[in-house]
């Protein structure tokens, strides 16, 4: 039998190998890759003979001891991260409610059938502001003064009241419409809005308008009026005309029935609750398409 020399200089007879030289003493002819080898390519002789066998009574690895020591810190990290997430969510909700979108609920029937009692709506606070108000917009505005009857306070405990006000303040509950109203914009600053009486259409700058959003059975106005909207003000009316104490019925009050633009919170753009009432509130632009700008 012929072996190859370890220095690769040529074959060597097995009988010429020194008897007292253990085979592969300097280097093994093969490297085990089984369970004892630690993986492919690991030199059998490179394992430390001092490594203790893992069995009963063996000390736990260093990383296991470190994990045990880190458990309290991990629990505290979870609490801290949860608190950060909650606080961030509350701050974000407050920012959204203050500058972008606010929720309101509808307390009355003055906007039927567009909006009904207890509907929850979202209002964009970008209008007025970056975007201009338009005729036909459904707006939420603060009472200019005397439009709403005195609100009857519902009995509620101090804790419940504080909790409710806190959630409303940060935007997690819809705003109580106790001091706000919801109506449709009919006239912009400078517009002349008029009606000659029952059965007749509303005219804006002399052009009669067809109002498809009116509640079934409603007429445009049972009350005669003819006004010019003051600067920086709006003329607003409910869609359920005979059940709406709108601009027509507040002409004897400050502003002559018009609403200051500064009182407008924003434009309603969607009904979100109840689920079966989910609706996008689109501006009926065709209704006012032929109306000229105020002269």
Positions marked catalytic: 110, 183
- Segment (H or E) for 207: strand 207-208
CB 115 within 8 A of CB 121: yes
**Four-CA torsion 242, 142, 279, 210, nearest 10 degrees:** 40
Cross-strand partners of 160: none
Of 264, 262, 266, the C-alpha closest to 232 is 262
C-alpha distance across the termini of the chain, in Å: 117
DSSP string covering 76-133: HHHHHHHHHHHHHHHHHHHHHHHHTEEEEE--SSTTTTTS-TT-EEEEETTTTTTS--
Task: Tell me the backbone φ, ψ of residue 106, rounded to 5 degrees.
Answer: -95, 120
Give the integer Cα–Cα distance in Å for 94 and 102: 10
Pairing of strands 264-273, 192-195: unpaired
Q: Which of 118, 104, 124 is nearest to 173 (CA)?
A: 104
CA-based diameter of the chain, in Å? 130
121's CB contacts (< 8 A; 6+ apart) are 103, 104, 105, 106, 115, 140, 182, 268, 270, 271, 272, 281
């Amino acid at each position: 039998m012929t072996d190859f020399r370890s220095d690769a200089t040529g074959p060597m007879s097995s009988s010429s190998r020194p008897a007292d030289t253990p085979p592969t003493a300097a280097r093994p002819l093969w490297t085990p890759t089984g369970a004892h080898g630690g993986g492919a390519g690991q030199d059998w002789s490179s394992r430390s003979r001092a490594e203790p066998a893992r069995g009963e009574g063996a000390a736990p690895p260093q990383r296991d001891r470190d994990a045990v020591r880190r458990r309290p810190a991990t629990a505290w990290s979870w609490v801290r991260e949860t608190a950060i997430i909650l606080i961030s969510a509350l701050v974000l909700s407050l920012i959204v409610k203050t500058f972008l979108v606010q929720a309101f609920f509808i307390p009355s029937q003055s906007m039927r059938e567009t909006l009904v009692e207890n509907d929850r709506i979202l209002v964009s606070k970008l209008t007025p502001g970056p975007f201009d108000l338009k005729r036909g917009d459904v707006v939420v505005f603060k009472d200019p003064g005397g439009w709403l009857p005195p609100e009857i306070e519902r009995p509620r405990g101090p804790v419940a009241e504080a909790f409710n006000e806190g959630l409303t303040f940060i935007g997690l509950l819809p705003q109580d419409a106790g001091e706000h109203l919801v109506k449709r914009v009919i006239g912009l600053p400078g517009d002349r809005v008029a009606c000659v009486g029952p059965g007749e259409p509303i005219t804006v700058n002399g052009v009669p308008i067809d109002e498809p959003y009116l509640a079934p059975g409603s007429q445009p106005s049972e009350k005669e009026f003819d006004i010019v909207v003051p600067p920086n003000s709006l003329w607003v009316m409910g869609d359920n005309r005979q059940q709406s104490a709108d601009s027509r019925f507040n002409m004897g009050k400050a502003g002559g029935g018009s609403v200051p633009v500064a009182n407008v919170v924003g434009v309603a753009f969607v009904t979100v609750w109840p689920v079966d009432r989910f609706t996008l509130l689109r501006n009926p632009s065709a209704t006012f398409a032929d109306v000229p700008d105020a002269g």
